[in-house]
Amino acid sequence: MHPLLEKKGFILDVDGVIGRGDKPIPQAVDAVNRLIEMGKKVVFVSNNSTRSRKIYMQRFKEFGVKIDEDQMFLTTYVTANHIKRTYGEAKVFTTGEPGLVEELELAGHEIVDYTEAEILVVGSNRGINFEILTKALRMCLDRSKIYIATNPDKVFPSEDGPVPGTGMLIGALYWMTDRMPDCICGKPERVIMEQALDYLELRPEDVVVVGDQIDVDVLAGKKIGSETLLVLSGVTTKENLNRMVEKFNAKPDFILEDLSELFR
Amino acid sequence: MHPLLEKKGFILDVDGVIGRGDKPIPQAVDAVNRLIEMGKKVVFVSNNSTRSRKIYMQRFKEFGVKIDEDQMFLTTYVTANHIKRTYGEAKVFTTGEPGLVEELELAGHEIVDYTEAEILVVGSNRGINFEILTKALRMCLDRSKIYIATNPDKVFPSEDGPVPGTGMLIGALYWMTDRMPDCICGKPERVIMEQALDYLELRPEDVVVVGDQIDVDVLAGKKIGSETLLVLSGVTTKENLNRMVEKFNAKPDFILEDLSELFR
């Protein structure tokens, strides 16, 4: 039996672990369902900043993963939740998409224009434009405003090639104002991982953090003091593994081809 | 007589020197016309990256400044000209506005989609969107492509408040790709200043560089070895002068309230 099967909890990345874009990795999906049947506590953590949990549940259903909405920690939800826990229900201006707006409103926040907002929430937006960028710039220049970002990803590897991630907006604002977010919620930062641990009600040593990216998932796991499992079913491959370990100066505790190898 | 009236040539900034936005500073306009009548050689250099010389001539006519189109060095024109001198007529993809496209085409360049382009030209665009940003990102990631930016200005002080300048795009691309432009054409860089000097057919010591910003105009003048005149009719004021000099660590050779003081 694989030693990681002694862990009580599994914190799993989505893309590159149980699917690639909207296509499932069937043997990895089976492995997740088997973990659940064994009584393991499972949550998913994703830096996706454009979709609500409601939208994402649809994908999980299609993949055939048997989990509930509250086992899903997307940065849309995590950010809304973080703001509520830290500042209470707030007046928010966001650069983000309807999926982020949905989670912010579900958490009780009010979406307002930038002049009335207390908090700027920066998240990726495929409908980004000059007006949104101008409003975010002006909020950043006002040091009395709180500035939160969903996730730090600079470039997202979409199916037809690289596209800008939320990090593009963080970089543009930093370049113009010398200001970085007061908090970034996504991996490899702590906020998303701590919300997942809280939900699991487990200690870091009782969970394993699983993902396909060293600079995102493995670093996030190390940050909370959990063991980490890198799967080679996504961004990191046999070919680039050594280069990635060196580049990001972080070594996963375990490496498997894909999640199903836990049971081989 | 003011000692600067012994110079043969005047390289003048536009905004904050002879006008503010689309409003002229009448006594400064009179001073420019007086310089021209005295036989001084005059050119204007502006970091404006969205307007062609043709569009700008209209503003100059309304201001009442008596100059020709070829005395006007906007970064739209300067960039198109720089590419032609350095690489010949080229296939170009640009993030920019119709004013930049117009100058690129006038110089003989062909505007193409990013996959066919040899050169990426980054200039500000009030119609910026995710698709343009994605294309610019992909060109930057391809180190075989040449990357030129019109001007480095991070934030532009528009009439209703700060808005992003071309520098926002440079910063966003740098954040995502670790790549800076192979050349930035606008002030305080040399390209625009050298094109102005070439046109004047004068040595740096025979011209004065006039502007309202220490980090833009005064630094540009120092870079080519000319004397500099700071006018307090724009961004720099009596109140912030000392702070600006200290911040940018550059002292203008002369300081006047506005250009008309040359004749007082």
Instruction: Output the pLDDT for position B34.
Output: 97
CA of B242 vs chain A CAs: smallest distance (Å): 21
Instruction: Output the pLDDT for position B22.
Output: 86
Cross-chain residue pair A163–B129, CB shorter than 8 Å: no
Considering the domain architecture, whether residues B155 and B205 belong to the same structural domain is answered as no
Residue B57 lies in a domain: no
Chain B residues within an 8 Å CB radius of A154: 175-176
Considering the domain architecture, whether residues A83 and A180 belong to the same structural domain is answered as yes
Considering the domain architecture, whether residues B178 and B204 belong to the same structural domain is answered as no
Question: Which residue is it, tokens 């117009």?
Answer: B102
The Cα-based distances of B83 to B72, B149, B150 in angstroms read 18, 11, 11
Considering the domain architecture, whether residues B95 and B177 belong to the same structural domain is answered as yes
pLDDT digits 0-9 by tens, A149-189: 999 999 998 889 999 999 999 999 999 999 999 999 999 99
Token code pair at residue A111: 């979406």
H helical segments located in B64-165: 75-87, 98-106, 130-141
Domain count, chain A: 2
Cross-chain residue pair A172–B174, CB shorter than 8 Å: no
Considering the domain architecture, whether residues A87 and A159 belong to the same structural domain is answered as yes
Residue A52 lies in a domain: no
pLDDT digits 0-9 by tens, A28-40: 999 999 999 999 9
Considering the domain architecture, whether residues A170 and A249 belong to the same structural domain is answered as no
Chain A residues within an 8 Å CB radius of B171: 171-172, 174-176
Asked if residue B99 lies in contact with residue B70, where contact means CB atoms within 8 angstroms, the answer is: no
Residue B31 lies in a domain: yes
Q: Which of B114, B128, B176 to mutate to test the interface with A (most CBs of A within 10 A)?
A: B176
What CATH number does the domain containing A242 carry? Answer: 3.40.50.1000
Instruction: Output the pLDDT for position B159.
Output: 83
Minimal Cβ distance to B176: which of A127, A133, A168: A168
**Per-residue pLDDT of chain B in tens (264 residues, 90 and over written 9):** 899 999 999 999 999 999 998 899 999 999 999 999 999 999 999 999 999 999 899 999 999 998 999 999 999 999 999 999 999 999 999 999 999 999 999 999 999 999 999 999 999 999 999 999 999 999 999 999 999 999 999 999 888 999 999 999 999 999 999 999 999 999 999 999 999 999 999 999 999 999 999 999 999 999 999 999 999 999 999 999 999 999 999 999 999 999 999 998
Residue B161: which domain range?
A: 81-184
Considering the domain architecture, whether residues B130 and B165 belong to the same structural domain is answered as yes
Residue B37 lies in a domain: yes
Q: Which of A95, A158, A174, A176 to mutate to test the interface with B (most CBs of B within 10 A)?
A: A176
Q: How far apart are CA A30 and CA A14, in angstroms?
A: 14
Residue B255 lies in a domain: yes
Considering the domain architecture, whether residues A84 and A162 belong to the same structural domain is answered as yes
Residue A155 lies in a domain: yes
Considering the domain architecture, whether residues A112 and A156 belong to the same structural domain is answered as yes
Considering the domain architecture, whether residues B245 and B204 belong to the same structural domain is answered as yes
Cross-chain residue pair B171–A167, CB shorter than 8 Å: no
Token code pair at residue B113: 């989609």
Cross-chain residue pair A129–B133, CB shorter than 8 Å: no
User: Which residue among B136, B154, B184 closes a domain?
Assistant: B184
Q: Is A248 exposed, middle or buried (0-12, 13-18, 19+ CB in 10 A)?
A: middle
pLDDT digits 0-9 by tens, B214-226: 999 999 999 999 9
Residue B122 lies in a domain: yes
Low-confidence ranges of chain A (pLDDT < 50): none
Considering the domain architecture, whether residues A136 and A217 belong to the same structural domain is answered as no
Chain B, 95 to 134: residues with Cβ < 8 Å from chain A are 125-130, 133-134
Q: What single letter denotes the amino acid at residue A229?
A: L
Q: What is the ipTM of this complex?
A: 0.94
Cross-chain residue pair B161–A138, CB shorter than 8 Å: yes
Residue A64 lies in a domain: no
The Cα-based distances of A156 to A15, A159, A173, A235, B130 in angstroms read 11, 10, 19, 11, 13
Chain A residues within an 8 Å CB radius of B49: none
Token code pair at residue A248: 């990001």
- Nearest CA among A177, A69, A47, A193 for reference residue A120: A177
Instruction: Output the pLDDT for position B79.
Output: 98
Instruction: Output the pLDDT for position B157.
Output: 87
Chain A residues within an 8 Å CB radius of B95: none
Considering the domain architecture, whether residues B21 and B88 belong to the same structural domain is answered as no
Question: Which residue is it, tokens 């650069």?
Answer: A95
User: Which residue among A158, A184, A210 closes a domain?
Assistant: A184
User: Which residue among B184, B214, B232 closes a domain?
Assistant: B184
Token code pair at residue A112: 């307002």
